[in-house]
Amino acid sequence: MEEKELEKKMSGEEDGTTDGFGLPEQENGTPEKPQGEIENEARGAEEAGVQSEDSENKEEKKEKKGFFSKKKDPKDTQIEELTDKLKRSMAEFDNYRKRTDKEKSAMYEIGARDVIEKMLPVVDNFERGLAAVPEDAKGTALADGMEKIYRQLMKALEELGVTPIEAVGKEFNPDFHNAVMHIEDENLGENIVAAEMQKGYMYRDAVVRHSMVQVAN
Of the listed ranges 30-39, 76-85, 97-106, 203-212, the one predicted with least confidence: 30-39
Residue 171 lies in a domain: yes
Residue 58 banded pLDDT, cuts 50, 70, 90: low
8-48 tens-digit pLDDT = 555 544 444 444 444 444 444 445 555 555 555 656 555 55
Q: In degrees to the nearest 10, what's the CA dihedral of 193, 194, 200, 202? A: 40
Specify whether 130 is located in the same domain as 173. no
Residue 78 lies in a domain: no
Q: Residue 162: beta bridge partners?
A: 203
Specify whether 152 is located in the same domain as 197. no
In this prediction, residue 139 carries a pLDDT of 86
67-82 tens-digit pLDDT = 445 677 888 888 989 9
Q: Which domain holds residue 126?
A: 85-160
Residues 6+ apart with CB under 8 A from 163: 201, 202
CATH number at residue 209: 2.30.22.10
**Domain closes at, from 160, 177, 209:** 160
SS3 state at 157: helix
Specify whether 156 is located in the same domain as 208. no
Residue 212 banded pLDDT, cuts 50, 70, 90: very high
In this prediction, residue 98 carries a pLDDT of 92
Q: Could you give the CA distance from residue 174 to residue 15 in angstroms, rounded to a whole number?
A: 138
Q: Note whether 211 and 199 are within 8 A (CB).
A: yes
Whether residue 163 has pLDDT greater than 70: yes
105-148 tens-digit pLDDT = 888 888 888 999 999 999 999 999 999 989 888 889 988 999 99
Residue 124 lies in a domain: yes
H-type alpha helices, 132-167:
141-160
Q: Note whether 25 and 32 are within 8 A (CB).
A: yes
Structural domain tally of the chain?
2
pTM for the full predicted model:
0.54
Residues 6+ apart with CB under 8 A from 154: 123
Q: Could you give the CA distance from residue 84 to residue 91 in angstroms, rounded to a whole number?
A: 11
In this prediction, residue 102 carries a pLDDT of 87
Specify whether 90 is located in the same domain as 151. yes
